[in-house]
Amino acid sequence: PSGHAGGKILGVLALFLVMVWYSIYREDRYIQLFYFPVQENNKTTCPLGEVEKKAAQLIGNYTRDHPLFLQLKDYFWVKTPSLYELPYGTKGSEDVLLRLLSITHYSLPESVQSLKCRRCAVVGNGHRLRNSSMGDTINTYDVVIRLNNAPVHGYEQDVGSKTTMRLFYPESAHFDPRTENNPDTLLVLVPFKPMDFQWMEAILNDKKRVRKGFWKQPPLIWDANPEQVRILNPYYMEVTAAKLLNLPMKQPRKVKQKPTTGLLAITLALHFCDLVHIAGFGYPDSANKKQTIHYYEQITLKSMAASEHNVSHEAVAIKRMLELGLVKNLTYF
């Protein structure tokens, strides 16, 4: 009988080991699907044309013909006025926009313009970057895009220190443009409403500050070099909303859904990079209300409840990109 018991124990043990192996195997398969440890030699080959080919499968009428940033000359002789109001177009905001575009620039830095291959990292603000030691890897990309007020100073080991572009809007501009960026970082305004143009113009021309019309008070002092400021073309917000999230362009006042700056940044990268890797994307599981959502502050998923973002909807869009191999992930999603 003791041999019999021993056999039973061995059988259970064998079964247990098979289960462990299987769960590790499945986990591995899953991680392989959505997690690509990027080889250090991401400098050697350039997958030219790959992003365009795959993006066209996901984005109807995909084209790279639209400028990244708005420029003055497009507004003086407007042949095709914008169809939509902000955030999807400039209809109705032309006057203040003209004033703003006359003091900002629209070109890409020569260092980016002249690249034979644009390898881009879009760095999200997710909690997954904390203690990730991804900093050195992120710094190896030609173009590093960051979002809103995400700090670099003091977090270099996890998030790197290189910033080619920082996308922001007035309410998220609470960062020091000089200490949190490089001298040549482009500060890219993402306009959600006409007031955003007014705020930016008042700051750069040092006019009386606009205080009303924001869901959170934007900075009154913002020490940026106007030559580094760019205005994002609302076309990219339109593509993100209409093509990736299937949102109606004309929404009733009550349901205001807008893409996050993060998804917008990925869309932008898909229209101008030859390789797009993302890091720090993904929100905690919705059941996990206490988990912080950003790598640098203590706010939790609960604080997102009132926002106009549908994060689960966006997660599906990003998963699709990962499955198509259109973007690759540096942190798990």
Terminal Cα distance for the chain, rounded = 51
Please tell me whether residues 1 and 53 are part of one structural domain.
no
Of 282, 136, 103, 306, the C-alpha closest to 205 is: 103
Of 133, 126, 129, 182, the C-alpha closest to 153 is: 182
Structural domains counted in the chain: 2
Q: How far apart are CA 228 and CA 197, in angstroms?
A: 16
The domain spanning residue 238 has which CATH number?
A: 3.90.1480.20
Q: State the pLDDT confidence band at 31, using cuts at 50, 70 and 90.
A: very low
Please tell me whether residues 110 and 203 are part of one structural domain.
yes
Q: State the pLDDT confidence band at 29, using cuts at 50, 70 and 90.
A: very low
pLDDT tens readout for residues 252-266: 666 678 999 999 999
pLDDT at position 278, please? 98
The dihedral of CA 83, 87, 93, 97: what is its sign?
negative
Please tell me whether residues 29 and 93 are part of one structural domain.
no
Where does residue 243 rank: exposed (0-12), middle (13-18), buried (19+ CB within 10 A)? middle
Please tell me whether residues 73 and 190 are part of one structural domain.
yes
Please tell me whether residues 45 and 67 are part of one structural domain.
yes
Q: State the pLDDT confidence band at 32, using cuts at 50, 70 and 90.
A: very low
**Residue 108 above 90 pLDDT?**
yes
Please tell me whether residues 51 and 9 are part of one structural domain.
no
Please tell me whether residues 127 and 273 are part of one structural domain.
yes
Beta pairing partners, 230: 188
Q: How far apart are CA 259 and CA 301, in angstroms?
A: 17
Q: State the pLDDT confidence band at 214, using cuts at 50, 70 and 90.
A: very high
Please tell me whether residues 9 and 73 are part of one structural domain.
no
**Containing domain of residue 286, as a range?**
41-329
Q: How far apart are CA 149 and CA 167, in angstroms?
A: 9
Please tell me whether residues 172 and 237 are part of one structural domain.
yes
pLDDT tens readout for residues 37-95: 555 445 668 999 999 999 999 999 999 999 999 999 887 666 677 899 999 999 999 99
Please tell me whether residues 15 and 150 are part of one structural domain.
no
Please tell me whether residues 127 and 12 are part of one structural domain.
no
pLDDT tens readout for residues 284-311: 887 887 889 999 999 988 877 778 888 8
Please tell me whether residues 9 and 104 are part of one structural domain.
no
